[in-house]
Amino acid sequence: MEIKKNIRHLELEELKAYFESIGEKKFRMRQTWEWLWQKHARSFDDMSNLSKELRAKLEADFSLPALHINTTQVSSDGTIKTRFKTFDGHFIEGVLIPTEKRQTVCVSSQIGCSLTCKFCATGTMTRKRNLDFDEIVDQITLINEQSEKIHGKKLTNIVFMGMGEPLLNYKNLLKAVERISSNDGLGMSPRRITVSTAGIAKMIKQLGDDDVKFKLALSLHAATDKKRNEIMPINETNNIESLVEALNYYYEKTNSEITFEYILFKNFNDSLRDADDLIKLYRQVPADLINIIEYNPIDGSRFAKPDEDATFDFMNYLGKHRVNARLRRSRGKDIDAACGQLANKS
């Protein structure tokens, strides 16, 4: 049986050529494109201003495998975790994080993850496959609808910090960002999009060569190879020296913002000596900010959150050394929606 092509994988010119081939007028093609990328149709039947005959023809020739919401959970702090079901029966999660000034969505790029970071629930899952770019866009549009319905506000920021490693799904990442930021899509400024990576040096350089406009965050979590190897196996093939080189190359090419993310683990990376190592690394890269992140417990992990005094001392030490650091309090911990907790638990 012939597999039908996903209609959202057609470029505008390809869709135009198809409509010409079936003798349809150009404005019908434009209406269809709007349904796909501005009105976010979930099926051909949703395209109500097209004739039944045309909708039937489109359904006969193409597929439209959209994400659908499976479950939602609301945290006591207002964070909302949504589990989505893919057309082939897999599950992924996205999170809406509302504040007074921002409506941020945290989205996934893969079904599962292959990096096995020792502190991350997603790292305990098998990677099933990459998400297609239209599935990434679906997460964002559905959570944008959620934000408008509940808060009366559109999304203001997008962070690729959910399930999976975005740079191991490079083409779909860039295509999703293109659709999100295009005028005939969501029209989101790339400067309001942050892509978080565990650190793949050659792909960070590729971002520079492609002159991307979004922000980049490095999930660092340890400032020496010895400690980083222990918690992030990816560091064995992408050590800190190679990442420093790649980040400087990226910044030289793009002049785009770089952030370090650093989860504090009790009695592992929270001493003042660890802070010194972090400061030395910070000085080697044109990073704008270090986000110090609260650790969120996951099943089977040996790590724990430091006490408040240790966290205060660490932050105070960074401040005394003129490091731009911010303590990021966790959101959605009670529904397993916080950083590192996404694992399709309901």
Residue 69 in tokens: 């919401």
Spatial contact of 57 and 7, defined as CB atoms under 8 Å apart = no
Spatial contact of 159 and 201, defined as CB atoms under 8 Å apart = no
DSSP 184-225: TTT---GGGEEEEES--HHHHHHHHHTT--SEEEEE---SSH
Nearest to 261 by CA among 224, 218, 227: 218
How many residues in the chain? 346
Crossing angle of helices 240-254 and 201-209, rounded to 10°: 10
Report the alpha-carbon distance of residue 98 to residue 15 in Å, rounded.
Answer: 37
Residue 167 in tokens: 């740079």
Residue 121 in tokens: 């629930």
Residue written as token pair 């520079």: 208
Residue written as token pair 């913002």: 257
In 126-281 the beta strands, taken as DSSP E runs, fall at 129-130, 157-160, 193-197, 215-219, 258-263
Rounded to an integer, what is the distance from CA 290 to the centroid of its chain? Answer: 18
Beta-carbon contacts of residue 342 (< 8 Å; ≥ 6 apart): 81, 93, 95, 108, 121, 122, 162, 163, 336
Report the alpha-carbon distance of residue 63 to residue 65 in Å, rounded.
Answer: 6
A 10 A CB-CB count for 227 gives 17
Q: Which residues are catalytic?
A: 93, 339
Report the alpha-carbon distance of residue 197 to residue 178 in Å, rounded.
Answer: 19
